[in-house]
Amino acid sequence: MITKFDTIEQLANGSPRQRHAYHTLQQHQIMEILTPFDPILAGTVPINIDIESSDLDIICAYQNGRDFQEYLKLHFSGFHQFQLKERFVHNESSVIANFVINDWPIEIFGQIKPSRTQAAVIHMYVEYNLLSIHGEQFRQHIIQLKKQGLKTEPAFAQALGIKGDPYLELLKLYPA
């Protein structure tokens, strides 16, 4: 269902930051290296609401957390500021690698569930649809809220007057 975001090709003709992200990911073959884990670039960059401090969030699915960690170490531990951790996110075991390439902070986030069913991808899809519905002025408002320090989901919730936990409430807007 999320075919628009299955690849990073749309970034090649996007905003200057999207093109820079595309070049960085292509130059270092990040998505190709992660192919065995069904990577999806999620977050703010693909939907053009990133700000200067935004990172590149790559969502992955793994079968075995330890094997995934070893794979990440093998391929990415040589990059600047590499860190690897395992933690529970939404009551699910998750592996997270962080590093920096070409001034881009990169986060690789993996869980045992399919990439397309993970919260970050669903949030991006919902946010993309909301941006499509509400237009450019709304997009600029979200960016301003983010520049004021709000994270993406709380920015959407505030802009739309959504009450409750913004992360959970946005998930409810995903078509079943």
- State yes or no: pLDDT of 21 exceeds 80: yes
Here the CATH number for the domain that contains residue 125 is 3.30.460.10
Structural domain includes residue 26: yes
- Rounded to two decimals, the pTM is 0.94
Residue 29, pLDDT > 80, answer yes
pLDDT of residue 90 exceeding 90, the answer is no
| pLDDT of amino acid 42 | 97
Mean pLDDT, residues 103-115 = 96
Task: Decide if 10 is inside a domain.
Answer: yes
| Main-chain dihedrals φ then ψ at residue 175, nearest 5 degrees | -65, 130
For residues 46 and 2, give the distance between their C-alpha atoms in angstroms, rounded to a whole number.
Answer: 12
What gap in Å lies between CA 39 and CA 97, rounded to an integer? 13
Residue at 18 is within a domain: yes
pLDDT value of residue 4: 76
Q: What domain range is 116 assigned to?
A: 3-171
Is residue 81 a part of any domain in this protein?
yes
> How many domains does the chain divide into?
1
- Does the residue 176 lie in any domain? no
